[in-house]
Amino acid sequence: MSLPWLEREVFRMARNDRIRRTFTPQFKKDAVALLKEGRSATDVAHSLGIARSLLQRWKDQLDRKRPAEVFPGSGNRAPEAQEVAELRKKLRRVTEERDILKKALAFFAEDES
């Protein structure tokens, strides 16, 4: 499977090595697909201009999770991470409410004395 647009994108990204390159989820999936076609990791990594270890990491990530959850991208959290963030937010709010009630209790207890 030859992907000329993929090779053009890699060439475009590789022109400026000083900028940290980011790869789209589709690019990562296509790169791993080339691996699964039987090409060697070294060959695929070299042709795409990426490190072999990076390609291997993407393959491992795809093997471990469902495809929809693998590369969520910026702003899109995995379901577990989303739930943890919501629970932390709720805990922060409840802790603030508790602290306010503690202060109110101390204030009113002081008035009664």
Q: What is the DSSP string of 20-44?
A: PP---HHHHHHHHHHHHTT--HHHH
What average pLDDT does the chain have? 82
Indicate whether 35 and 67 sit together in one domain.
Answer: yes
Indicate whether 55 and 89 sit together in one domain.
Answer: no
Q: Which domain holds residue 90?
A: 77-113
Indicate whether 34 and 6 sit together in one domain.
Answer: yes
Indicate whether 50 and 83 sit together in one domain.
Answer: no
- Residue 87: pLDDT over 90: yes
Q: Is the pTM of this model over 0.95?
A: no
- Interatomic CA distance for residues 70 and 21, integer angstroms: 18
- Interatomic CA distance for residues 21 and 103, integer angstroms: 51
Indicate whether 13 and 26 sit together in one domain.
Answer: yes
Indicate whether 92 and 60 sit together in one domain.
Answer: no
C-beta atoms surrounding 50 within 10 Å: 20
Q: Find the mean pLDDT for residues 76-89.
A: 85
**26-28-29-32 Cα dihedral, nearest 10 degrees:** 160
Instruction: Tell me the CATH number at 9.
Output: 1.10.10
